[in-house]
Amino acid sequence: MRWSKRCETRHIRSPTWGSRSDKSPRPTRTTSCFGEEQEDLGVSEFDLSLALFGGIALTLGLLSRWLKQTWFSENIAALLVGIAVGPIALGWIDVENWGNQNVIIERVAEIALAIALMEIALRLPKREFLHHLKSYVILLGALMPLMWLSTALVVWLVLDLPFWVAMLLGAVLTPTDPIVASSVVTGPIAERLLPTRLRDTLWAESGANDGLAYPFVVLPILVLASSFSDSVGEWIYRALLYETFFATVIGAAIGYGAAHLLMWAERRDTIETASFKTFTLALSITTLGVTALAGTKGLLGVFLAGVIFHMVVGQHEDEEVEPIQGALDHFFTIPVFALIGMTIPLSGWIDLGWSAIALVAGVILVRRLPAMLLVSRWVGTLKTWPDALFVGWFGPLGIGALYYAAYVLGETGNEDAWVAASLVICSSIVIHGLTATPFSYLYARHTPDEEYAEARDQGRE
């Protein structure tokens, strides 16, 4: 597969927001249940899809504790099942039969991310961002741009892309995935070997940067459609201030209001237990919908809604809603990894040839680790070099990058970016999933904290 400079002009939509060029080769967005016009889905395939997605969540749920004590993560297992039943193996399920595959991936990924971001917001200490404000300003304001530039440089060198196309693909591969990161920092091994401050840092950063990646993605799209000088004003006003910043205002307002409504309902005994336990699921979906109706991007809004909700509600309400939110997160997100496996563009990966290996190695090694080592001295939650190395390595890609890859395909119609992005995403899921347990033991063995002496001894066994 050869990358061409044609993608600078031919496959990029008009810079008018919300409009699309009639010359764009991508399919027209029209739907049924996913918002697109879809072909009839055979009953047998529909039933098989239900059985497989439900069965994956059921089986991996039964084995979840055991899997967290091995090198083999639930995410990898779900990905492999998806590959096995998809078109490139058994051919039992073809997502293209459901309608516009790209739109399905984008919307399913967005909903799964919204639920996961709410769960992360509820797990963090109530005032995590306030107590470590400087650390997160560095991680989000300095580390993210460095990751974007580093990734774009790798893409430009390996794939010989035009500059702004490389910047676009670099932006897609910038955000760390909250779901894969959560699998790294949860479970008995992680809780025993990793200090709380380290786990909270990974959680909080991955939760915030998924939504903050949107302006990075939009800027190259606008520039490719016209020019940098013509695009920068619209980018600042639309993408940065309105679609991103205003989404945080909406999310914070919804989270604050929802917290007070929940406490009011509990004081007056108007809410039953079942509704109480699913309140945050409704909050995440409501926030996603309201921000979309307002013309903004909802992921950051959902995360802020969860953070503010968590800060405002009392301890009792907190304890009631957090466990069920974690269970819902697990149920909704694990099948998405199977969906990734069902939709991988294997022929496109093969066409990349040796560039595929160089791209994966370059992005995994260069995208985050050097930048983290550079800024770690100013991140107060990272106290040692092992801290910086661990957090620098575990900035995995996953459903967040998948969402942006699908978004870019929808906006530009260029499938080459989807091929390259999906390759790196799947590789990251496998590589970071397999290294989570051994690297946790390695961290515990070399950390100077006395509280982990027992963990270090176990790591040597």
Q: What is the pLDDT of residues 389-429, one digit of tens each?
A: 999 999 899 999 999 999 999 888 888 888 999 999 999 99
Can you tell me the distance from the alpha carbon of 376 to that of 384, in angstroms, rounded to the nearest whole number?
9
- Residues 128-157 have a mean pLDDT of 93
Greater pLDDT, 65 or 122: 122
Number of CB atoms found within 10 A of residue 142's CB: 15
pLDDT reported for residue 460 = 40
Can you tell me the distance from the alpha carbon of 398 to that of 210, in angstroms, rounded to the nearest whole number?
10
The answer, yes or no, to whether residue 313 has pLDDT greater than 90, is no
- Give the pLDDT confidence of 94-106 residue by residue, as tens digits: 888 888 888 999 9
Which residue segments constitute the domains of the chain, with CATH numbers given? Answer: 44-460 (1.20.1530.20)
- Residues 7-29 have a mean pLDDT of 39
The answer, yes or no, to whether residue 7 has pLDDT greater than 60, is no
Contacts of 323 (CB under 8 A, 6+ apart): none
Percent of the chain with pLDDT over 90: 41
Would you call 339 helix, strand, or coil by DSSP?
helix
Number of H helices and E strands in the chain, helices first, is: 24, 0
The token pair that represents 80 in the structure block? 């492999």
Can you tell me the distance from the alpha carbon of 452 to that of 193, in angstroms, rounded to the nearest whole number?
7
Predicted confidence band of residue 117 (pLDDT cuts 50, 70, 90) = very high
Can you tell me the distance from the alpha carbon of 171 to that of 282, in angstroms, rounded to the nearest whole number?
30
pLDDT, averaged across the chain: 82
Greater pLDDT, 29 or 238: 238
Cα distance between the two ends of the chain: 47
The label of the residue with tokens 């496996």 reads 341
Specify the long-range contacts of residues 92-98, CB closer than 8 Å, at least 24 apart.
Answer: 92/45, 92/48, 92/52, 93/45, 93/48, 93/49, 93/52, 93/342, 94/45, 94/342, 95/339, 95/342, 95/343, 97/39, 97/41, 97/42, 97/45, 98/34, 98/38, 98/41
User: What is the pTM for the complete model shown?
Assistant: 0.85
pLDDT reported for residue 42 = 47
- Give the pLDDT confidence of 174-183 residue by residue, as tens digits: 999 888 888 7
> What is the enclosing helix (H) or strand (E) of 325?
helix 315-342
Can you tell me the distance from the alpha carbon of 342 to that of 87, in angstroms, rounded to the nearest whole number?
7
pLDDT reported for residue 364 = 95
pLDDT reported for residue 450 = 52
The label of the residue with tokens 């013309």 reads 295
The label of the residue with tokens 């939504």 reads 211
- Give the pLDDT confidence of 339-398 residue by residue, as tens digits: 999 999 999 999 999 999 999 999 999 999 999 999 999 998 898 899 999 999 998 999
Predicted confidence band of residue 86 (pLDDT cuts 50, 70, 90) = confident
Predicted confidence band of residue 461 (pLDDT cuts 50, 70, 90) = very low
